[in-house]
């Protein structure tokens, strides 16, 4: 395994140079390469963008071309949450299910949809469950929309709500512990353990919102399993998946999909991207 930090400046050229250098460390003998990227991918294009969490990545940029030129083998590019869902489907908690939703709960909420054993891409929008409306007219999402899942279940959205209520005069250990720093998963856990009411409410609302998204997805395309992962979900463990599953059962009864914790951790995206590359370039193998 090779790792490197994302360059903070220099825009897409600097990021792609770092990616190519990191891939080169482990690419010896590879017939093809899969890359999972944190932004929208037009399916099959090898291009990604705009990506709000990468500094300076404001447009659509060719990712595959520069890496192919540097390494010399074909490169497949996929959205990272799509790739992670596919990785779990093939080799993780999704093995045995051909119709599943990967649901990634961290600073935001991402998703990936596998239907009939294939990654559903559509025009690149499929599986973007973080921006499903779970409360029409509700809290403002990081994207500007109202009532999206990510505003209720993403760590950033939960922090915004905690600070809003604190500014309005509500006491909470969340702000006492976090201070001016980021309200990490560990802060939520510590506040919960000490019986903080607001932390408990925000967690309950997160579970309800995730369950609503799971139920809506199940009713639309009939998934039988949800693989729940991401930094925040991982921190709360199997109990979090059980709570979302139980809340989904409350909405759908016996038709609700089972909700299970992801198994591949940080590797699901890289593994899924590699498996998708093998599907895209079978004659290279």
User: Which residues of the shown chain bind Zn ion in the complex (CB under 5 A)?
Assistant: 131, 141, 143, 145, 148
Residue whose CB is less far from Zn ion, 77 or 129: 129
Residue whose CB is less far from Zn ion, 95 or 143: 143
Dihedrals φ, ψ of 77, to 5°? Answer: -115, 130
Residue whose CB is less far from Zn ion, 119 or 151: 151
Instruction: Work out how close the CB of 163 gets to Zn ion at its nearest, in angstroms, rounded to a whole number.
Output: 19
Measured in residues, the chain has a length of 285
Angle between helices 197-221 and 185-193 (to 10 degrees): 120
CA 63 to chain centre: 20
Exposure pattern of 216-244 as b/e (b: 16+ CB <10 Å)?
bbbeeeebebbbbbbebbbbbeeebbebb
The DSSP bridge partners found for residue 114 are 100, 119
Instruction: Work out how close the CB of 260 gets to Zn ion at its nearest, in angstroms, rounded to a whole number.
Output: 26
The DSSP bridge partners found for residue 72 are none
Residue whose CB is less far from Zn ion, 46 or 147: 147
Instruction: Work out how close the CB of 152 gets to Zn ion at its nearest, in angstroms, rounded to a whole number.
Output: 11
Residue whose CB is less far from Zn ion, 40 or 65: 40
**Helix, coil or strand: residue 37:** strand
Residue whose CB is less far from Zn ion, 12 or 108: 108
Neighbours of 43 (CB within 10 A): 14
Instruction: Work out how close the CB of 181 gets to Zn ion at its nearest, in angstroms, rounded to a whole number.
Output: 24
Instruction: Work out how close the CB of 150 gets to Zn ion at its nearest, in angstroms, rounded to a whole number.
Output: 5
Instruction: Work out how close the CB of 23 gets to Zn ion at its nearest, in angstroms, rounded to a whole number.
Output: 31
Gap between the Cα atoms of 258 and 274, Å rounded = 27
């Amino acid at each position: 395994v090779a790792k490197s930090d994302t360059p903070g400046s220099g825009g897409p050229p600097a990021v792609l140079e770092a990616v190519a250098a990191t891939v080169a460390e482990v690419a010896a003998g590879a017939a093809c390469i899969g890359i999972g990227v944190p932004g929208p991918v037009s399916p099959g294009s090898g291009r990604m963008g705009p990506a709000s969490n990468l500094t300076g990545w404001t447009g659509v940029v060719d990712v595959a071309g520069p890496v192919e030129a540097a390494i010399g083998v074909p490169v497949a590019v996929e959205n990272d949450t799509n790739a992670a869902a596919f990785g779990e489907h093939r080799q993780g908690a999704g093995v045995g299910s051909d119709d599943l939703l990967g649901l990634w709960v961290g600073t935001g909420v991402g998703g990936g949809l596998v239907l009939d054993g294939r990654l559903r891409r559509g025009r690149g929008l499929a599986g973007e469950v973080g921006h499903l409306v779970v409360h029409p007219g509700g809290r403002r999402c990081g994207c500007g929309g109202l009532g999206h899942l990510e505003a209720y279940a993403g760590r950033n959205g939960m922090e915004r709500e905690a600070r809003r209520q604190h500014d309005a005069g509500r006491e909470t250990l969340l702000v006492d512990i976090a201070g001016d720093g980021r309200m990490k998963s560990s802060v939520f856990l510590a506040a919960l353990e000490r019986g903080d009411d607001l932390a408990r409410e925000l967690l309950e609302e997160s579970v309800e919102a995730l369950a609503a998204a799971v139920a809506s997805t199940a009713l639309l395309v009939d998934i039988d399993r949800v693989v729940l992962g991401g930094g925040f979900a991982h921190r709360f463990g199997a109990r979090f998946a059980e709570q979302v599953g139980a809340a989904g059962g409350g909405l759908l009864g016996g038709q609700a999909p089972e909700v299970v914790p992801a198994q591949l951790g940080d590797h699901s995206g890289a593994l899924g991207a590699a498996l998708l590359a093998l599907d895209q370039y079978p004659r290279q193998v």
